[in-house]
Amino acid sequence: MMPRMKPGIRSLVCAAALALALLSGCTTVPETGRRQLMLIDAAQEAQMGLSAFADIKNQQLISNDPAANRRVREVGARIAPAVGRDLPNADWEFVVFESEEVNAFALPGGKVGVYTGLLAFADDDDELAAVVGHEIAHVSARHGAERASQQLGVALLGLGVALASEDAKHQDEIRVAYGLVATGTVLKYSRDHESEADRIGLLYMARAGYDPRAAARFWGKMAARKEAGLRMPDWFSTHPSDETRIKRIESWLPEMLPIYEANRR
């Protein structure tokens, strides 16, 4: 039988073990150099994306419009190789879904869905490429897996706090502090992911020969749509403010425009 640890030593051991687990799960986003917590296996993540996309195709109406499908596939065929690195189990597929929603999405495994509402709203393929590049950037940067890892990390942190607070004099203060840290981290990373996807998406569309200035134009139109009181996608609330977003995109253009000029068609 192992000797019973003193409460203080047990708390230190638990904290050290949790810290080691979290630190060992750190990776880097190649395009930005940002360190991220990653506790999800890439191959497993891709398999979940493939399965989810199959379900979506069974549940949502797929467009049979030849022009719409050709437009999306042509943009996708240029954006996908512009990622510049292999994605785990990527089997690229670009599907148009019938919906008035101005939106698109991408899933691990190279699966991309575009709604007909976006095709009607995007004035040209440059604007369409801005959205497709942004969505693929979420996948290549593994933002979904990072969010899941954050939630797992928060759960592990909560376990550590629970163990440590058994012997603490100020249990309520510790739990309140933990709650503030957990909530602040999750909300902040959601907005950070959107900004990072904007920057990486600009890089992808520029490499593919699409004008990155179209991104600022597109998001300006989306801002005007919101001001007009029209229905916006649910995810829009997690994005940076319209003004901040457009300013950041414009600040990145001096870096992106030479890439676009070198690859324009």
Catalytic residues: 135
Look-up of token digits 């990155």: 212
Quickly count: other Cβ atoms within 10 Å of residue 162's Cβ: 14
Q: CA separation (Å) from 99 to 64, 68, 113, 123?
A: 13, 13, 11, 17
Closest CA to 180 of 160, 158, 148: 158
Q: What is the CA radius of gyration of the chain?
A: 22
Q: CA separation (Å) from 132 to 3, 13, 100, 249, 252?
A: 58, 46, 17, 16, 18
Query: Which tokens hold the place of 218?
Result: 């597109």
What's the angle, vertex CA 105, arms to CA 103 and CA 110, rounded to 5? Answer: 150
Look-up of token digits 């003193």: 6
| CA–CA dist 128, 114 (Å, integer) | 9
Closest CA to 264 of 180, 186, 221, 208: 208
Residues, the chain, total?
Answer: 265
What's the angle, vertex CA 103, arms to CA 98 and CA 105, rounded to 5? Answer: 95
